[in-house]
Structure 1
Amino acid sequence: MKTDAGVHSHHISQQFNIELEEIKGSMLEMGGLVEKQLADALSALINADSELGRTVREHDDAVNDMELTIDDACSRVIARRQPAASDLRLVMGIIKAINDLERIGDEAAKIAKLAVALADEGDSSKGYFEVRHIGERVRHMVNMALDAFARYDAEAALTVAKEDVNVDMEYSSAMREMITYMIEDPRSISRVMNIIWALRSLERAGDHAKNIAEHVVYMVMGTDVRHAGLSSMEKQVKSELGSNNS
């Protein structure tokens, strides 16, 4: 695990330190909003709450606005402060993370739209168990990724990447279940297709949470693991932890 001081250095300019912490705080605030959007979208779908679904869609603009504001603040810091090494990795990590958070917000808005459609079609429990189960996993991934970012914790980030493998496996299993539902009852095809799209959005949200975890590893270690694969990422992180403990 890395501490705050271990990732970006403290500067003679106290204002620079404040700016970095404010930008990081804004990114985590955006993350909290996205977490709530995802949780509300899932609740709207499972509980057939069309009003909550519409609220989630309306709040998507707030997520988009936060991304633009934080991105602008990062650009100003780069232009004015010309950060180097670990400070630059922090700023770049935030820029990449807010992009992934915005995408998670988009997936939450898609789920909310599907929730409204499903509520209008009438109540049915088919597919809801899979949505609830995978949804909880993905929500936990997003929370863990943000926590890893807040604490500069590469080991926790690795845990998020490992969890993404489990989500992908459960997503594949859920897809087989959905196909079975449609074969058994062709009248359910339209409704089950909406569940399939919701599951797809959850799988994509999990991918974006994994991306945030990879940004954490880059910030902490200076190593880009985006295309390295899980085994290589694990090797890199454990090697770093071993060298820090020696």
Structure 2
Amino acid sequence: MDKHISSQFDSELNSISSRVLELGGVVESQIASAVLALTQFDATASERVYQMEKTVNQMEVDIDRDLSTMIVRRQPAASDLRFLIGISKTTANLERAGDEATKIARMAQSIIESGASRRMPVAELRLAAELASKILRSALDALARLDVAEALLILREDDKIDIEFNGFVRKLVTFIMEDARTISPSLDLLFVAKALERIGDHAKNIAEMIIYIVKGEDVRHIPLEDVQSVIG
């Protein structure tokens, strides 16, 4: 590949990276609006999430199309191919995190319409929501810098949302036992808690992709101490 073509390719790689980070910003806004809909019983915020879902879906399709074109046209070397594969998987994880935000908005809408909203323990989910948002933001920051040390920190913090989820489930069972009329909206909240947990999982997946891009090692499904040895 001559210098001119190489420069063009580098420009294309930077452009696709910027677009993925832009997609991540939209997904972050989706999550923030979904949490606002839930905690403030704000139906307007739910509508914003639905509108952003269309944008996220179109951005994913456009990025995937351009990634495929780049791979066919440029036939990239190993390190660049890893980058494009990692970016493709990152895009998919961001879109799925956006799907979880849409689920939260839908559950919030259901709780609002049921009339049970003011009795529900939605404040108990606030910490889990903050953790999910923080971990996703950290994953996007690490992606922008291809920072494997930050990616490892994200993997180490993965269990925090799981702990919050399990604690919330116990509280929700107690809440239902105290008032059986809340069973239906409580199930909605259970789905919200699970959606927040999955957002954290998608952020973890992005962190694993960063390590794959930089180190060339697939660290999915391996113990954390082995990931540490990969990073060195």
State TM-score, norm by structure 2: 0.95
Distance 1:50 1:67, change over 3 A: same
Cα deviation 1:137-182 (Å, max 9, x = unaligned): 0000100001111000001011111221111111111111111111
What is the CA–CA distance in structure 2 between the aligned matches of 1:112 and 1:82, rounded to whole Å?
41
Counterpart position of 2:198: 204
Secondary structure of residue in 2 paired with 1:142:
helix
What is the CA–CA distance in structure 1 between the aligned matches of 2:103 and 2:185, rounded to whole Å?
15
1:48 aligns with 2:41: yes
Q: Of residues 27, 32, 51 in structure 2, which corresponds to 1:34?
A: 27
1:223 aligns with 2:217: yes
Residue 42 of structure 1 deviates from its aligned partner by 0.4
Residue 43 of structure 1 deviates from its aligned partner by 0.6
Counterpart position of 1:62: 55
Q: Of residues 86, 89, 107 in structure 2, which corresponds to 1:93?
A: 86
| Mapped contact 1:100–1:211 kept (Cα < 8 A) | yes
Counterpart position of 2:113: 120
Distance 1:170 1:235, change over 3 A: farther
Counterpart position of 1:242: none
Letter in 2 for 1:38: I
1:111-190 alignment runs, 5 A limit: 111-122=104-115, 123-124=117-118, 126-190=120-184
| Mapped contact 1:60–1:106 kept (Cα < 8 A) | yes
Residue 117 of structure 1 deviates from its aligned partner by 1.2
| Mapped contact 1:54–1:113 kept (Cα < 8 A) | no
What is the CA–CA distance in structure 2 between the aligned matches of 1:12 and 1:168, rounded to whole Å?
49
Letter in 2 for 1:178: L
What is the CA–CA distance in structure 1 between the aligned matches of 2:138 and 2:195, rounded to whole Å?
19
1:107 aligns with 2:100: yes
Letter in 2 for 1:57: Y
For structure 1, which segment, 34-43 or 111-120, has the greater mean C-alpha deviation from structure 2 after superposition? 111-120
Residue 192 of structure 1 deviates from its aligned partner by 1.1
| Mapped contact 1:54–1:116 kept (Cα < 8 A) | no
What is the CA–CA distance in structure 2 between the aligned matches of 1:58 and 1:29, rounded to whole Å?
16
Residue 11 of structure 1 deviates from its aligned partner by 5.5
| Mapped contact 2:26–2:52 kept (Cα < 8 A) | no
What is the CA–CA distance in structure 2 between the aligned matches of 1:47 and 1:234, rounded to whole Å?
41
Residue 112 of structure 1 deviates from its aligned partner by 0.6
Residue 218 of structure 1 deviates from its aligned partner by 0.4
What is the CA–CA distance in structure 2 between the aligned matches of 1:130 and 1:89, rounded to whole Å?
40
What is the CA–CA distance in structure 2 between the aligned matches of 1:81 and 1:18, rounded to whole Å?
13
| Mapped contact 1:37–1:105 kept (Cα < 8 A) | yes
Letter in 1 for 2:168: A
Q: CA RMSD, aligned part only?
A: 1.4
Cα deviation 1:201-239 (Å, max 9, x = unaligned): 0111110110000000001111100111222222322x1
Letter in 2 for 1:233: V
